[in-house]
């Protein structure tokens, strides 16, 4: 009974919204909004006949490559800068500027510097996504409990061991928060880089549908993007729970006390 | 800088005092040295020939172009367009998400009822709406607004929901037994708890709004700095384009600074801003 009730809570509102959508498009056809049936009809043929391997997978691949490079680079540079007080003060204003720079303006810049190719699209994602990771890593390293630092020092733990067993774990919650921010930026940049002078990819395809007034197809593209966003966020939540299991456990104990 | 970091789960944690506040060289001096160093590298890279100057003009040229822009009315009109879309979009999103967040957050039924829908809609990237915005509004400011409001709405809503969930049970019960009306309870119990979360949401939404304002101008072509950048790029005015990119960055920094000031003013009573060690 209880399971039934929670299932009802999960599906009730979405069902209601779909019903509302169906009811409001049932009468005279609206040019901008297709009926649910039309969208379902169009979804399969539009995406599963070639576009998924031709456009969707390459887009997602570029996104993942860009994110991976940005995360690794961000953590490595963040550790280097965060552990050195002088370096931190030296770089702070410049990094703050780059963080405040809206990432989409990098697209025209990188088109100039890299050219119109896959490398540019990955570079846009890397350059846009690195700042939240980098700055959060610096902040995470900076705000490590000083007692912990002194303890590792007096136990003679230094170098890579210190980073592996003390610095990275205590900065991990902050780093993960940065990664979460960069995920949504990465998705935005994936779409934008393809809308700007490109001839393939998800962003280009959706814009093409709009330009040719293929309205149900355009909506199905919006749906695909939404599903990719949802999948990314679910995968991230799963990873975060695994990486930060100790942290969430600690929080629960603290909150219960 | 410490104010801008999102701690997972909890948005407005009290911050501890900075460890090691005294350092040999004063921080502003080092920061300035960093900026100058960056500009020097930027100046040298094209001059030495690592990158061709027609792709990356030296820093001095770009700064001169930026200074020239500052004297042009067209530049300030573009800045005005961008800022107007930013402000209207942000305000609309904050009002809508704030009210809806309070209503949903204060009712356990509504919270469970809407949870799945919110979790589903939140990760949908706002740029997915670009084609729809073009179709509905063309190159008018409304298309920017649509993207901005959609993106900012979730940022603020989630924070408000966290905030309402964080309201102290004892405080609520005390208010109830003292016979507070619903409005009084919102005003004196819920609102002060939610405010720090709301401010975090607004601060995050402010930078997201700028990103989407620029994106809409760049891709759709609604008037503003983004369109100027696209025009400069396609017109081959490369230093002009870099100058505009620099200008958007400065705009972003200005927005960050202002939002942080506002947050500190409004929350000066709150422990996280008072800066005491609360633990």
Q: What is the mean pLDDT of chain B?
A: 84
A161 to chain B nearest CA, in Å?
Answer: 23
Distances (CA, A) of B24 to A134, B18, B155, B222: 25, 16, 40, 49
Which chain A positions have a beta carbon within 8 Å of B35's beta carbon? 93-94
Taking the CA of residue B28 and the nearest CA in chain A, the distance in Å comes to 8
| Chain A contact present for B52, CB below 8 A | no
φ/ψ region of B236 (left if φ > 0, alpha if ψ in -120 to 50, else beta) reads left
Residue B6 Cα, gap to closest chain A Cα (Å): 6
**Do residues B143 and B134 make contact, with C-beta atoms less than 8 angstroms apart?**
yes
Mean pLDDT across B216-225: 89
Overall average pLDDT of the B64-69 stretch:
91
**Residue A69's pLDDT band (cuts 50, 70, 90):** very high
User: Would you state the pLDDT for residue B22?
Assistant: 52
Residue B2: per-residue pLDDT: 41
In chain B, which among 69-128 make CB contacts under 8 A with chain A?
112-117, 120-128
- Min distance B81 CA to chain A CA atoms (Å): 16
Q: Is it the case that residue B277 has pLDDT exceeding 70?
A: no
| Least confident span in A33-42, A233-242, B127-136, B143-152 | A33-42
pLDDT at B9 (0 to 100): 44
Q: Work out the average pLDDT over A123-152.
A: 91
**Per-residue pLDDT, B13:** 44
Residue B5: predicted pLDDT: 46
Predicted TM-score (pTM) of the model is 0.84
Task: Tell me the per-residue pLDDT of A87-107, one tens digit each, with 9 for 90 and over.
Answer: 988 998 999 899 899 999 988
Residue B19 has pLDDT above 60, yes or no: no
Q: What are the distances in angstroms from CA B30 to CA A94, B39, B41, B42?
A: 11, 14, 16, 18
Calculate the CA dihedral of residues A44, A49, A53, A57 and round it to 10 degrees: -20
Question: For residues B206 and B87, is the Cβ–Cβ distance under 8 A?
Answer: no
Mean pLDDT of the residues in chain A:
86
Contact between chains at B215 and A136 (C-beta distance less than 8 A)? no
* B31 CB within 8 Å of a chain A CB: yes
Residues in B touching A97 (Cβ below 8 Å): 249-250, 252-253
pLDDT given for residue B92 in this prediction: 96
Candidates B115, B214, B238; nearest CB to A102: B214
Q: Which of A79-88, A193-202, B186-195 has the lowest mean pLDDT?
A: A193-202
């Amino acid at each position: 009974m209880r399971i039934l009730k929670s299932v009802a809570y999960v599906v009730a509102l979405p069902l209601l919204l779909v019903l509302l959508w169906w009811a409001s498009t049932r009468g005279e056809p609206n040019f901008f909004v297709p009926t649910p049936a039309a969208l379902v009809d169009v979804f399969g043929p539009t995406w599963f006949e070639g576009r998924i391997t031709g456009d969707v997978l390459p887009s997602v691949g570029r996104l993942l490559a860009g994110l991976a490079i940005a995360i690794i680079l961000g953590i490595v540079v963040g550790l280097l800068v965060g552990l050195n007080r002088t370096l931190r003060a030296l770089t702070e204003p410049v990094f703050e500027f780059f963080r405040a720079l809206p990432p989409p303006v990098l697209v025209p810049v990188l088109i100039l510097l890299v050219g119109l190719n896959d490398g540019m699209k990955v570079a846009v994602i890397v350059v846009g996504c690195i700042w939240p990771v980098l700055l959060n890593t610096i902040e995470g390293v900076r705000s490590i409990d000083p007692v912990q630092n002194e303890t590792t020092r007096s136990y003679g733990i230094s170098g890579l061991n210190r980073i592996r067993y003390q610095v990275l774990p205590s900065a991990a919650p902050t780093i993960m928060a940065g990664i979460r921010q960069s995920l949504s930026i990465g998705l935005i940049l994936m779409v934008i880089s393809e809308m700007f002078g490109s001839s393939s990819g998800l962003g280009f395809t959706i814009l093409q549908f709009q330009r040719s007034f293929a309205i149900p197809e355009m909506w199905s593209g919006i749906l695909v993007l939404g599903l990719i966003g949802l999948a990314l966020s679910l995968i991230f939540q799963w990873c975060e729970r695994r990486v930060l299991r100790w942290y969430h456990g600690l929080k629960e104990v603290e909150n219960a006390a | 800088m410490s104010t801008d970091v999102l701690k997972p789960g909890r948005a407005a944690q009290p911050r501890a005092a900075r460890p090691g506040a005294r350092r040999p060289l004063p921080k502003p001096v080092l920061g300035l040295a960093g900026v100058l160093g960056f500009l020097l590298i930027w100046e040298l890279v094209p001059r030495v020939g690592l990158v061709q100057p027609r792709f990356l003009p030296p820093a001095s040229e770009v700064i001169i172009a930026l200074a020239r822009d500052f004297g042009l009315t067209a530049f300030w009109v573009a800045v005005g367009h961008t800022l107007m879309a930013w402000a209207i979009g942000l305000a609309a999103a904050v009002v809508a998400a704030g009210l809806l967040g309070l209503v949903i957050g204060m009712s356990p039924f509504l919270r469970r009822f809407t949870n799945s829908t919110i979790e589903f809609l939140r990760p949908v990237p706002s740029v997915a709406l670009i084609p729809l915005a073009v179709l509905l509004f063309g190159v008018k400011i409304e298309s920017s607004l649509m993207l901005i409001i959609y993106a900012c709405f979730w940022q603020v809503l989630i924070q408000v929901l966290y905030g309402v969930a964080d309201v102290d049970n004892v405080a609520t019960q005390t208010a109830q037994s003292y016979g507070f009306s619903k409005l009084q309870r919102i005003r004196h119990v819920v609102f002060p708890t939610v405010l720090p979360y709301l401010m975090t949401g607004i601060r995050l939404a402010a930078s997201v709004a700028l990103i989407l304002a620029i994106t809409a101008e760049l891709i759709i072509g609604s008037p503003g700095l983004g369109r100027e950048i696209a025009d400069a790029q396609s017109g081959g005015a490369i230093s002009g384009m870099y100058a505009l990119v620099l200008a958007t960055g400065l705009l972003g920094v200005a927005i960050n600074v202002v939002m942080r000031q506002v947050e500190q003013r409004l929350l000066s009573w709150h422990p996280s801003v008072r800066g005491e060690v609360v633990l």
